[in-house]
Homo-oligomer: A and B are copies of this chain.
Amino acid sequence: MTRSIGRFVWVIAEGYIPAESHGPPGPMTSHETACLLNTGEAPAHVRITIFYADREPTPPYEVVVPPRRTLHLRFNDLSDPAPIRRDTDYSSVIESDVPIVVQHTRLDTRQAAEALLSTVAYSQ
C-alpha cells in the first residue's frame, strides 16, 4: 500500500462544537473531528480554513499528516491562530499538498447519552 489515495481539497460544511458535555472528560467531551488519512509516501501538509456566519474566515491552521498515517484531528484542539468558538456555527475547507481522504464526525454529549454523526467530506 504505497499509493496515494484521495483528493487535494475537502469541505465540511457542518461545524459546531457544543460547549456542554456529560461523561468522562477527554473521550466523552463533545467534539468535532476531521479524520485525515495519508496513504502515500510523502508527508501531507494540510491547511484548514474556518468559515463563520458573521465574520471573515480565519487564516489557515496548519497540520502535518506523516506518510502512511491517520490523524483524527479534533477541531476542539486547534489553537493557532485562535481556538474555534464553542456553540458557534462554522464550516471548514481542508487543503493538502498530496492526496488525502477526509471524514467528518461529531460526538455530542450535551444530553445524558451520546449522539454521533459522520460523513465523508465533500471533495473536488
Contacts and interface: CB of A to CB of B under 8 A. Distances in A.
A52 B70 contact: yes
B5 A124 contact: yes
User: How many copies, total?
Assistant: 4
B89 A68 contact: no
A84 interface: no
Interface residues of A, number: 61
Interface of A is mostly: strand
A40 to B, nearest CB: 11
A70 B49 CA distance: 12
A79 interface: no
A51 B68 contact: yes
A75 interface: no
